[in-house]
Structure 1
Amino acid sequence: MDTAAIETLEAQFRGDIIEPGDTTYDETRALYNGMIDKRPRLIVRCTDTADVVTAVQFGREQGLVIAVRGCGHNGPGLGSCDGGLLIDLSTMKGIYVDPDSDTVRVQPGCTQGDLDHATHAYGLAVPAGIVSTTGIAGLTLGGGHGYLSRLHGLTVDNLIEAEVVLADGRIVIASINRHDDLFWALRGGGGNFGIVTSFLLQAHPVHTVYAGPILWDMAHARDIMAWYRDFLPKAPRALGMFLGLKRVPSVAPFPEALWDRPVCALMCCYNGAEEEGRTVMQSVREALPEPLLDGMMSMPFPAWQSAFDAILPKGLQWYWKGDFVHELHDDAIDAHIENASRIPSGSLSLMHLYPIDGAVHDTQSDAMAWRCRDATWSMVIAGIDRNPANADAVTQWARDYWEALHPFNAGGGYVNFMMEEGSERIQATYGSNYERLARIKGHYDPDNVFRVNQNICPA
């Protein structure tokens, strides 16, 4: 790639073009996961769909590896590449809410927090994740589960249509009625099939929620996990609740007396009035021991979604592994307790069990690429630390924990909770849907242009 090629690109491109040596290069290329460092040959920051088309065509003409980044929240750093072209969508942040249809059209540079902010003014929300700095594009294409999933399904269950730039530069609309095979694949198949430049999402009535963390000493974890296993499938769908084993972060708003203490946590969100939420939670409080902290209160939904953003800023050391869980056996609980007891002191490392039930089970496993409708939980084990010197320690802890639990679990995991783990894990995740995904990939991206991802090889 010579100077003349870049000059030609500059004449056709409306966004910023950033090269190594430019003053903004290091800041722009930095990833959410501070454990990973990549150096693209060129970064192009798109302003609109036309810029995305130009970037894709340029990358193909120059024979460059192409990586695509929405908000850069990807754990294994698959939103960038070494020596290739990074197509950065982070400045494409348009959002339009239609209150007549309860839908929202959102561009791929938006975070979950951007989306929550826009929809909250209308008393609406889209089911999504649990950290507001997460990019809505990667979250949606991978599936998207969080506090509203038991009531309203996955993020991808609420995708109505997508505008997509294909590998050959064409722009198409994918929906149940147009390019329905592509639409089927986009819903859980990640960025394998094109660059989505606009998502049309179904929103739902959500405004004030009764939400917060409840923490117990780790000594109670075995009893709480067994109770959680039995309670959650019978709980009202309006109650989103996930279980975590972790240390209390050494920051406000947590009481200093609890900092770094190993705990079992229930992170709860009841979509409704505080009085209703208290009634639902009464059986929880009666069944379980006295907690160290009960922080549940009435609050706007975006406040709960962003409550812990400050604890997980960009640049931490991350290593995570995921599995889908069908049953939480007693032996598995014992393995959880044993490994959680070894969470490195001072780290933010954790294990979370997110519910995959309720409305998620209302959709058939072959209705879209996201297949694991028969799972009960999505498990993530994340080694997280502020200090790069501790990266190896938290990585080893996460690997050991996952290897101890994996024999109890399904073969695949949530793609947004995977590092680069090889094709066998990808095939296990998609199971009986994988062959169809490979055929669709072969139709829309036969040259595997979009391969810097959890890759599905074209048939």
Structure 2
Amino acid sequence: MDAELATIVKVVTPAQIPYDEWDERSSRWNLFSETETNVRIIAVPSSQVDVVGIVRWAAKHQQTDIGVRAGGHGFFSSAAVVVDMRQGFDYATVNQDTGVATIGMGQTLAALDERTHPWHMPVGVVSHTGCGLLLTGGVGYLCKSHGTSADNIIEVTIVTSDGRVHVCSKDKEPDLFFAVRGAAPNLGIVTEVKAQCYKVPDAMCTLRAWPSSLENVQRLIDWADQEAVLNDPNMTAYVALMASPDKQALCSIHVVCVGVESNENDQKYKDLIGQLDNTGDIVLLPTSRVPFSTPQTMFDAGMSKQFWYVSQAYFPGNKTLTPASLKDCVDAYSKVPLADTNAMVIWEQRGSDTTSAYHQFPSDSCAQPRHGQRWECYVFYGTADKDNAETCRTQGRAMKETILKHAQPGGRSHLTKDEPSRIEFYYGDNSERLREVVAKYDPLRIFATCNGMKF
């Protein structure tokens, strides 16, 4: 079977290349995935014809454990066959008049940002992520001003399990276009997207930290919830519990402002951020204008390849975080053995439901739902120590349960198959429609169980 694949497309196996190269090609961001299934072969397409050949081979042999590496660190949970898109689809061009970019699905977000400059796509906040994120969310510093990555995709080219190439949009195969923006790994292999980008000035940024305490966390949330911050679509705040380099518990705030660069705007942002001055903070990044690429790379080091437990929850409606919910999180975080666990709890502000672009797209406009939430909360618990992995996962689940006393579940709770009802958990009210679309476009069920899902 694998010998046949080698006649269709370039393949790489562990016997062909040095261990270090194989490890780089086959590695997954979440090492829990590697405890489930070892990658046995990697297909390296150089063209869309190659991708069609790979998909037809998979359909012929009912090869259902396929994962796609779209440029950067990959999820591809439980994938024995990896399709590495980096050789043939590592490109991006942008129309300098309209800002519409044509994006190959074989590059990192950092490469995309560099190639489309001075235009920028609303993307995530870790630059070594692959472009697959564009199709499964993409929330970041432009979220309040322009929505998510998925909201800004205009057209998607995808190869489905019957070997057909579809070019879908809101006017052409709209059901597929709805589904692929949120559930692409379960529908086929995406080779290219067209998306709207935006010109963004240098960003006004700051990053500050304090010793972790309920008082400090509450002050940061209150600051972010004031109308001048909440209702400014160009101002985004992230509040987090995190560890210092010497493994002490900290709370921090990262503020990114992408409003037009002017004396008036700059003074407004400096005055707002200045409200945090002289409160015992540790200034990690002084308030200043920096290239937009700077905040895009700020969290790269902390998101390295490890055994990760990841969960996501949202606080439905335009509501702030209650003191009780913050107290429970701070208390739980104080008990985490930070010497052994890379633990982060991050509250991301999505903005007011009346002023933030994130909320202007209906929840059923694409498969990835939204809930009118002002705040979302992410839990990242990681360890590089395999012997500590299960303990880390248990700790992460405990923090998730602490948060869910006050919030609703939502998002990819874990990147492996350890959670029940993951489809409903992530896609909510869009689940039924999404199941119908997956059944229509993947009747052979080649992709229906990929990426830890099971349609």
Instruction: Using structure 1 for the length normalisation, give the TM-score.
Output: 0.88
Instruction: State which of 100, 106, 110 in structure 2 corresponds to 1:113.
Output: 110
2:295 pairs with 1:304:
yes
Instruction: State which of 229, 245, 252 in structure 2 corresponds to 1:265.
Output: 252
- 1:16-35 aligned at under 5 Å gives the runs 16-23=10-17, 24-35=21-32
2:128 pairs with 1:133:
yes
What percent of counterpart residues are identical? 23
Aligned partner of 2:313 in structure 1 is 323
2:8 pairs with 1:9:
no
Aligned partner of 1:255 in structure 2 is none
Aligned partner of 1:64 in structure 2 is 63
- 1:337-356 aligned at under 5 Å gives the runs 337-346=330-339, 347-356=341-350
Q: Do the aligned partners of 2:30 and 2:415 also contact (CA within 8 Å) in 1?
A: no
- 1:200-219 aligned at under 5 Å gives the runs 200-219=194-213
Q: CA deviation at 1:165?
A: 0.4
Q: CA deviation at 1:423?
A: 5.0
Aligned partner of 2:239 in structure 1 is 243
Residue identity matched to 2:188 = G
Task: Could you tell me which runs of 5 or more consecutive residues in structure 1 were left unpaired when the two chains were aligned.
Answer: 251-258
CA distance in 1, matches of 2:267, 2:446: 52
Instruction: State which of 411, 436, 439 in structure 1 corresponds to 2:436.
Output: 439
- 1:366-445 aligned at under 5 Å gives the runs 366-410=364-408, 412-415=409-412, 418-422=415-419, 424-445=421-442
Partner SS for 1:52: helix
Q: CA deviation at 1:229?
A: 6.1
CA distance in 1, matches of 2:391, 2:289: 38
Residue identity matched to 1:408 = H
Q: Do the aligned partners of 1:322 and 1:380 also contact (CA within 8 Å) in 2?
A: yes
CA offsets per residue over residues 185-218 of structure 1, 9 Å max, x none? 1122241112110011100111311113121221
Partner SS for 2:57: helix
Q: CA deviation at 1:41?
A: 3.2
Q: CA deviation at 1:80?
A: 4.9
Partner SS for 1:145: coil
Q: CA deviation at 1:113?
A: 0.4
Aligned partner of 2:153 in structure 1 is 159
* Cα distance, 1:226–1:354 mapped onto 2, change above 3 Å: closer
Partner SS for 2:450: coil
Partner SS for 1:132: coil
Partner SS for 2:76: coil
Q: Do the aligned partners of 2:33 and 2:77 also contact (CA within 8 Å) in 1?
A: no
* Cα distance, 1:230–1:241 mapped onto 2, change above 3 Å: closer
Partner SS for 1:408: coil
Q: Do the aligned partners of 1:438 and 1:456 also contact (CA within 8 Å) in 2?
A: no
Q: Do the aligned partners of 1:324 and 1:409 also contact (CA within 8 Å) in 2?
A: yes
Residue identity matched to 1:285 = G
CA distance in 2, matches of 1:226, 1:304: 20
CA distance in 1, matches of 2:252, 2:190: 36
CA distance in 2, matches of 1:294, 1:223: 20
CA distance in 2, matches of 1:274, 1:210: 11
CA distance in 2, matches of 1:294, 1:408: 31
CA distance in 1, matches of 2:274, 2:251: 15
Aligned partner of 1:364 in structure 2 is 362
Q: Do the aligned partners of 1:385 and 1:391 also contact (CA within 8 Å) in 2?
A: yes
Q: CA deviation at 1:300?
A: 0.8
Q: CA deviation at 1:66?
A: 3.5
Instruction: Using structure 2 for the length normalisation, give the TM-score.
Output: 0.88
Q: Do the aligned partners of 1:212 and 1:304 also contact (CA within 8 Å) in 2?
A: no
* Cα distance, 1:59–1:80 mapped onto 2, change above 3 Å: same
Aligned partner of 2:162 in structure 1 is 168
Aligned partner of 1:449 in structure 2 is 446
CA distance in 2, matches of 1:124, 1:173: 24
Shift >4 Å, 4+ stretches: 416-419
CA distance in 2, matches of 1:416, 1:321: 4
Instruction: State which of 119, 123, 128 in structure 2 corresponds to 1:124.
Output: 119
Q: CA deviation at 1:224?
A: 2.3
- 1:213-232 aligned at under 5 Å gives the runs 213-219=207-213, 220-228=215-223, 230-231=225-226
Q: Do the aligned partners of 2:202 and 2:290 also contact (CA within 8 Å) in 1?
A: yes
Q: Do the aligned partners of 2:77 and 2:416 also contact (CA within 8 Å) in 1?
A: no
Residue identity matched to 2:12 = I
* Cα distance, 1:308–1:370 mapped onto 2, change above 3 Å: closer
CA distance in 2, matches of 1:454, 1:228: 38
Aligned partner of 1:104 in structure 2 is 101
More deviation, 90-99/437-446? 90-99
Residue identity matched to 1:354 = E
* Cα distance, 1:262–1:39 mapped onto 2, change above 3 Å: same
CA distance in 2, matches of 1:322, 1:418: 12
Residue identity matched to 2:290 = M
CA offsets per residue over residues 27-57 of structure 1, 9 Å max, x none? 4222222344232332111112111111111
Q: CA deviation at 1:449?
A: 0.9
RMSD: 2.3
Q: CA deviation at 1:356?
A: 2.5
- 1:40-51 aligned at under 5 Å gives the runs 40-51=39-50
CA distance in 2, matches of 1:332, 1:420: 28
